[in-house]
């Protein structure tokens, strides 16, 4: 893996979240668009749809699933200047910056044919080719698998699809705040981190799988978007359509020879690498401070003091509130997942009263935790 040292943190570090660092497409490595740096290098070429905002809002999660930003992140998007080349049936390995362990949720990948240059990512019909949701028996989320595999996920391009230019959309979803139903804003608190790359697919297939558009594929009240994972769901339903089954046969012909991948060379390449590493150092320091200062938060968790941010564990009972020994927060009253009988839909003790955790309550820190 060629990722630089960059870590996704929590509150105040939204800019570090969910950045796709690189991708190996049918054997060729391509560096990805970095929203924190690439705008300073006007000649840079990427296969990614870039999102040029460099503040926390621009590089953080998309929280409004009805927004156009849900397709490939925050617009106005920077069109890819080059594209990857892959044989149908070959593999793509996505390399993310390290993911923060408590931001658990699914990992999803889509593809959509781009019929002409006028087609925008919001016009593309995306079909799902891969998903990692929740394994109840192992208590394992898709993002846990990402962490366990050095921040990577490998997917296979269906071998029967029609050749052409495709947008490949990969997405991490953090569900740590997804219980926060806001009927006025029509949001759940789920944090979505989509990124799209441009890939020319070769082959002899003819299939054109039906797809969905973004926005439109998700609703803020979908059971995979509005859910309380702190109580351990008995069943988790991933958002969006089912995975396109199709065929997964070996690719035809030799591995493509690609002349341009976007790798920077010379003095400019060295300067870029140094800047990338320095960003990583700053983020690691910020994450360490965040863990130390914000150890009571995220659903009543108590975070280990001084622990590695990427593997930090949550003590189930919040030691600052001995009168309320609960696992995480309950679903908001009257929300779809709320229950008065713990164990029927979620595990843990009876939810605390609605007044608990308000701005004057003992768990004020958890209410303020927004990242």
Phi-psi sector, 359: left (phi>0), alpha (psi -120 to 50), beta = alpha
- Angle of CA points 349, 364, 7, to nearest 5°: 90
Extract the tokens encoding 350.
Answer: 């009876």
Question: Does CATH number 2.70.50.70 belong to domain 20-286?
Answer: yes
Using one digit for the tens of pLDDT, what is the confidence trace for 193-242? 999 999 999 999 999 999 999 999 999 989 899 887 765 567 889 999 99
Q: Taking the domains of the chain in order of start, what are their residue ranges?
A: 20-286
Using one digit for the tens of pLDDT, what is the confidence trace for 245-292? 999 999 999 999 999 999 998 998 899 888 877 776 665 555 444 444
Q: Are 176 and 104 in contact (CB under 8 A)?
A: yes
Q: Are strands 91-96 and 152-156 parallel, antiparallel or unpaired?
A: antiparallel
pLDDT at residue 151 tops 80: yes
- Best mean pLDDT range from 42-46, 162-166, 350-354: 162-166
Q: Are 151 and 96 in contact (CB under 8 A)?
A: yes
Model confidence band, residue 299 (pLDDT cutoffs 50, 70, 90):
very low
The rounded mean pLDDT for the chain is 76
Burial environment of residue 344 by CB neighbours within 10 A (0 to 12, 13 to 18, 19 or more): exposed
pTM for this model (two decimals): 0.77
Model confidence band, residue 171 (pLDDT cutoffs 50, 70, 90):
very high
| Percent of the chain at pLDDT exceeding 70 | 68
């Amino acid at each position: 893996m060629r990722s630089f040292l960059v870590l996704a943190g929590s509150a105040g570090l939204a800019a570090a979240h969910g950045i796709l660092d690189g991708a190996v497409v049918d054997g060729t490595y391509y560096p990805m668009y970095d929203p924190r740096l690439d705008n300073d290098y006007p000649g840079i070429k990427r296969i990614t749809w870039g999102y040029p905002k460099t503040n926390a809002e621009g590089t953080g999660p998309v929280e409004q699933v009805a927004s156009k930003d849900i397709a490939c992140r925050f617009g106005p998007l920077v069109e890819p200047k080059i594209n990857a080349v892959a044989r149908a049936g070959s593999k793509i390995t996505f390399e993310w910056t390290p993911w923060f362990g408590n931001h658990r949720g699914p990992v999803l990948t889509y593809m959509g044919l781009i019929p002409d240059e006028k087609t925008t990512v919001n016009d593309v019909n995306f079909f799902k080719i891969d998903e990692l949701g929740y394994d109840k028996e192992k208590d394992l989320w898709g993002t846990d698998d990402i962490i366990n595999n050095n921040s990577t996920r490998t997917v296979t391009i269906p071998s029967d699809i029609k050749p052409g230019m495709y947008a490949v959309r990969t997405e991490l979803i953090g569900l740590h705040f997804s219980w926060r139903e806001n009927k006025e804003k029509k949001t759940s608190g789920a944090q979505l981190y989509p990124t799209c790359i441009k890939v020319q697919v070769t082959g002899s297939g003819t299939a054109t799988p039906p797809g969905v558009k973004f926005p439109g594929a998700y609703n803020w009240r979908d059971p995979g978007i509005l859910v309380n994972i702190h109580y351990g769901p008995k069943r988790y339903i991933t958002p969006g359509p089912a995975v396109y089954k199709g065929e997964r046969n070996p690719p035809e012909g030799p591995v493509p020879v690609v002349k341009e991948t976007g790798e920077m060379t010379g003095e400019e390449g060295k300067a870029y690498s140094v800047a990338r590493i320095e960003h990583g150092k700053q983020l690691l320091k910020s994450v360490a401070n965040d863990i130390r200062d914000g150890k009571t938060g995220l659903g009543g968790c108590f975070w280990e003091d001084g622990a590695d941010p990427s593997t930090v564990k949550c003590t189930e009972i919040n030691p600052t509130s001995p009168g309320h020994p609960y696992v995480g927060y309950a679903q908001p009253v009257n929300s779809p997942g709320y229950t008065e009988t713990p164990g029927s839909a979620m595990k843990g003790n009876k939810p605390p009263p609605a007044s608990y955790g308000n701005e004057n309550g003992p768990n004020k820190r958890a209410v303020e935790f927004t990242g």
